[in-house]
Amino acid sequence: MYLTHHETPGGSRWACDDRFMSAKLDLGLLLSMPREVIVEILRNPWRKTRAAGALLPPLDPNQEVWAAGVTYLRSRAAREAESSVADVYSRVYDAPRPELFFKSLGWRAAGHAMPIRIRGDSRWNVPEPELTLVINRHNEIVGYCAGNDVSSRDIEGENPLYLPQAKIYNGSCALGPGIILATADEVRDLPVELAVLRDEAVVFSGQTRTSMMKRDPVELVAYLARELDFPHGVFLMTGTGIVPADDFTLRVGDTVRVTVGAAVLENEVRS
């Protein structure tokens, strides 16, 4: 099942497998339910009218997006290379406790075909393609979407305490194009691909698989939920295993395409 969020003349509406829901859907309420109830609800109340209108981010405005870092060996190497305190990232990669940080509220996230941004006070900006878990209030993985954790590597590398400024700003979080219902087992080995197009030519591409993560998705969810309640569900970006070379930086006008499993998210870079 594929759940998408659309802009329509009557306001935002959710659709499942390209059909509108017969009543407006409260995603937060849906994610407050157990997984089997969510599946049962989505099987039934859909009109056969094909959904129309621009895609919106696949979450409600007040839902939270969190992120995990240094979950792939490639990410550890990149952050060690950019940082003046490289051993911090080596210790995070090997530690029992993962790196977790708040990324965005739903109203600040960009959806498919919406613009993303690079900071005006940064000279080294990269996309980070990530499996993004959709989690209900019972801390069950109920689905996934593609995510782009846009980051300013020079700001992050200058000082680990600058991580929020490197990761959290307008246009730095993209999710979409919709929610693909899936279990924890079904997200453990998905293909992840990144392509950056500039003047219609591919200037960077890479690929990995979620099975290359050192940390299991269920483990990441368990740590996130240790001392936090998410009564309306939560989205968790799980880290990147694809990092461009040090001489690469995003430019205004680039198009970034992130593919995770069956989800393809594409955004243009704006200043």
* DSSP letter for each residue of 200-244: TEEEEEEEEEGGG-SS-HHHHHHHHTSS---TT-EEEE---S---
pLDDT in tens, 195-220: 999 999 999 999 999 999 999 999 99
How many angstroms separate the CA atoms of 240 and 126, rounded?
A: 11
Specify the pairing of strand 263-270 against strand 116-117. Answer: parallel
pTM of this structure: 0.93
Quote the tokens at residue 43. Answer: 């099987």
pLDDT in tens, 108-167: 999 999 999 999 999 999 999 999 999 999 999 999 999 999 999 999 989 889 999 999
Q: Say whether pLDDT at 88 is over 80.
A: no
Least Cα distance to 149 among 170, 122, 125, 128 occurs for 128
Amino acid found at 197: L
- In the structure, what pLDDT confidence band is assigned to residue 19 with cuts at 50, 70 and 90? confident
Q: Is the dihedral of CA 246, 249, 255, 260 positive or negative?
A: positive
Q: Is the dihedral of CA 170, 205, 135, 7 positive or negative?
A: positive
| pLDDT: which is higher, 87 or 251 | 251
| C-alpha pair distances (Å), 249 with each of 161, 197, 256 | 22, 12, 12
DSSP-based three-state secondary structure for 76: helix
- In the structure, what pLDDT confidence band is assigned to residue 84 with cuts at 50, 70 and 90? low
Domains in the chain: ranges and CATH: 2-56 (no CATH), 64-270 (3.90.850.10)
| Helix spans in 68-173 (H) | 73-82, 87-94, 153-158, 163-167
Residue 200: CB partners within 8 Å, gap ≥ 6? none
